[in-house]
Structure 1
Amino acid sequence: MAFKPFAMERWMSKFEQQVDYNLSESGVHPVRLEELLERAPGLWERLRRTELNYPYANGNPELRERVAALYPGATAGNVLITVGAAEANFIAATTLAGPGDEVVVMLPNYMQIWGIAHNHGMHVRSFHLREEPGWSPDLDELKEAVTKDTKFIAICNPDNPTGYILTEPEMEGIVRAAARVGAWIIADEVYAGTERERDEITPSFWGRYDRVVAVGGLSKAYGLPGLRLGWVVAPRELIDQLWARHEYLAISASMLSNVLAAVALSEEVRPWLISRARDYIRRGFPLLEAWLDEQGGAFSLIPPRAAAIAFVRYHLDVNSSELAERLRQEKSVLIVPGDHFGMDKFLRISFGLPHDYLATGLARIGELVAELA
């Protein structure tokens, strides 16, 4: 079985630090440590006195309690702290299914679980978000994809790369499909809190069904990717199984990440972080939209409902990976080609960025587009 690299993460990890303008990231512009210190009196003294020891392997109790508070009916015993949502997705997928097992993945999607499933010999079926009706899910296709052998259904809500938010009836449809055969739902919900058009935070799949694994983290809506701090919320029995895998993979997140994450999720700081992310998104999107309109019909877009990214269709006679490579080499701008989601003729472009940085990055993309048009 040939190993499938994670194409998008390979691309970003190789080149995101080497370009002038990184428009590939899916979160908002990151928070500075001094901003947290300003909003949390006493934090600096607490950090100075913190022993750089192992934290609780499953996450410090204060942090797990604050995560649990985000999920009605959950307790700290339903929470496992992980090294980013990436570890959470990995241990969830490999705990719930193994070689030869059937799984269903929503597409387009963050392609981590898709790749994990292929690399572990799972049989991957899919259902799609359809562009034509505005990226809504094809629930008829889901119904056909799910069989009595399906171990889990993997979804991302809000979605990466489209920014689509599932409606209540669509969420119910996914739950019905899983419940019909007793499959688990792995719900990657890291973009909850990045809503562009509304203030209500996207509801979780947690509590809708007894076989839900809800994944979250601080990288996207909170602007704290450098903490590498994520979590899983799941039934207690499954949490213990995930914890056992966590000990092989990472043992624990860092002590400082546990401390700072608890501060980020406090009643005093969390509302500010969510508001800050939405401000970047709501200021950045009009700039992106105006730029797209100025490109002479080269692009079309179904506006994202959440997240700091747009999945832009382009109307040029060039492959998306080739276009992305030329932008990197000729304009020192990094974006994500649609090929990384299995969809050529699309680009994923970040817009949750400072105004001048975003404007200049887009202008450089426009220069190459003009040459190709």
Structure 2
Amino acid sequence: MKVEVFEMERMQCTWEREVDYEFSESGVHPLHLNELLEGDDEVKEFLASPLGYPHADGTPKLRSRIAATYRNVITENVFVTNGSSEANFIAAWSMFEKGDEVVIMVPNYMQTWGLAKTWGLNVKPLKLREELGWQFDPEDIKSLVTKKTKAIQVCNPNNPTGAIMAPEQRKALIDAARDSGAWLLSDEVYLGAEREAPMTESLWGYHDKTLITNGLSKAYGMPGLRIGWLIGSPEALDEVKPHHDYLTLTPSMLSDRLASLALEPERRKRILARTRSILQKNYPLVREWMEAHGSMFTHVPPAAGAVCYIKYSLDINSTVLADRLRKEKSVLVIPGDQFGMDGYIRIGTGPPKDYMHGGLNRIDELLNELKAGERTA
């Protein structure tokens, strides 16, 4: 079967380890193992871990700790996966049939969009509007969602904009799902990566037909563990599990152990505080860099996630701009084309500050060359 190419992931997988400055990542600078393990006894216990198969749906300890981070969730509502991308995939695979109607928030992490196109679904975009602070118009969802709609898929907090869904939009979304009987699929992998706001409330618990996906990659700074999860009713998870059997079967035993440590309540608080601190230090740096360029850049300040979604006024296609930055300056950014929106780039704000300065200086070099070219054209 031919698949819709996942342009962003293909670009990242190809180039993210080949550049001097990797600004395509949307999570904070990753933790090191010695920052997670505390004390000699904990290190010894981890090194004594057996290298067998773990529980297929995650160990009870890990599932219990995940459940404790939600309201009205028990262990039976949790299914552990290899990253949140696998959670997104098996949720969609278990649910959709060719010809189904699905409403998908855009811009978004375009995985479900690509799968829907590959499988021949009728995809209806729910557009976030920059003039509304990257919120959707509640009237739009009323017109898009019908009794034929199989699912509504959202990303909250949003990638690439960093917006958190406002109360009016939350209510409109939940009302639309309830009234239509559609499934609500909510990608919440940036929950906990709020820069100033309180932690975003999950959409769990407001509609019976809900599946939540999340993981440790973004807000927790541990993408290398490849631990994600699904939150759903036991009956809904039973529909998902047979699809998982055709993929990775189980999470990694070592990753399961480390994830359990990371989600110990006090340690989790420290990890998320680290994330907030990084975002609070780095966003002003990027904002000041944009302001130094005058009217070239505009943006809506991101509320969450290590991302800044930037509109630019240069007369150059976003993919061409990203390719030139990679080839000429060894900097990797995400072009807006990969979210269906030319004229934008997404810059990651999670690296160390010195690294951020170095990469932004490289971008400046190309911007100055482009501006000089426009003046002489």
Q: Which TM-score band (shorter chain)?
A: over 0.9
| Counterpart for residue 298 of structure 1 | 296
Distance 1:372 1:176 in 2: 48
Cα deviation for residue 268 of structure 1 reads 2.7
The yes-or-no answer on 1:96 pairing with 2:95 is yes
Cα deviation for residue 333 of structure 1 reads 0.3
Cα deviation for residue 41 of structure 1 reads 6.1
Cα deviation for residue 42 of structure 1 reads 2.9
| Counterpart for residue 22 of structure 2 | 22
The yes-or-no answer on 1:204 pairing with 2:207 is no
Secondary structure of 1:171's aligned partner:
helix
Cα deviation for residue 2 of structure 1 reads 5.1
| Counterpart for residue 333 of structure 2 | 335
| Counterpart for residue 254 of structure 1 | 252
Cα deviation for residue 119 of structure 1 reads 0.8
Which residue of 251, 272, 277 maps to 2:270?
272
| Counterpart for residue 141 of structure 1 | 140
What's the CA shift string for 1:56-81, capped at 9, x where partnerless? 00000000001111111111100000
Which residue of 337, 352, 355 maps to 2:353?
355
The CA RMSD measured in Å over matched residues stands at: 1.1
TM-score by length of 2: 0.97
Distance 1:182 1:189 in 2: 21
Q: Is the 8 A contact 2:3 2:115 kept in 1?
A: no
* Percent identical: 47
Counterpart residue identity of residue 366, structure 2: L
What's the CA shift string for 1:177-212, capped at 9, x where partnerless? 0111100100000001111122x2100000111111
| Counterpart for residue 237 of structure 1 | 235
Q: Is the 8 A contact 1:139 1:173 kept in 2?
A: yes
Distance 1:41 1:284 in 2: 33
Distance 1:173 1:241 in 2: 28
| Counterpart for residue 10 of structure 1 | 10
Counterpart residue identity of residue 270, structure 1: R
Distance 1:254 1:235 in 2: 24
| Counterpart for residue 152 of structure 1 | 151
Distance 2:60 2:225 in 1: 18
Cα deviation for residue 176 of structure 1 reads 0.5
Counterpart residue identity of residue 88, structure 2: N
TM-score by length of 1: 0.98
Counterpart residue identity of residue 329, structure 1: K
**Shift >2 Å, 4+ stretches:** 40-43
Distance 2:116 2:349 in 1: 31
Distance 2:117 2:23 in 1: 28
Counterpart residue identity of residue 251, structure 1: L
Cα deviation for residue 49 of structure 1 reads 1.1
| Counterpart for residue 55 of structure 1 | 54
Structure 1 residues 25-174: aligned runs within 5 Å: 25-38=25-38, 42-174=41-173
Distance 1:204 1:296 in 2: 37
Cα deviation for residue 349 of structure 1 reads 0.2
Q: Is the 8 A contact 1:98 1:120 kept in 2?
A: yes
Counterpart residue identity of residue 52, structure 2: N
What's the CA shift string for 1:321-346, capped at 9, x where partnerless? 00000000000000000000000000
Q: Is the 8 A contact 1:185 1:212 kept in 2?
A: yes
Q: Is the 8 A contact 1:295 1:366 kept in 2?
A: no
Q: Gaps spanning 5+ residues in structure 1: where?
A: none
| Counterpart for residue 226 of structure 1 | 224
Cα deviation for residue 317 of structure 1 reads 0.4
What's the CA shift string for 1:26-51, capped at 9, x where partnerless? 0000000010113x663211211111
| Counterpart for residue 315 of structure 1 | 313
Distance 1:8 1:314 in 2: 19
Cα deviation for residue 169 of structure 1 reads 2.5
Distance 1:231 1:184 in 2: 18
Counterpart residue identity of residue 172, structure 1: K
Counterpart residue identity of residue 70, structure 2: Y
Counterpart residue identity of residue 52, structure 1: L
Q: Is the 8 A contact 2:141 2:172 kept in 1?
A: no
Cα deviation for residue 95 of structure 1 reads 1.3
Count matched residues. 371
Distance 1:231 1:282 in 2: 27
Distance 1:42 1:143 in 2: 56
Distance 1:13 1:122 in 2: 27
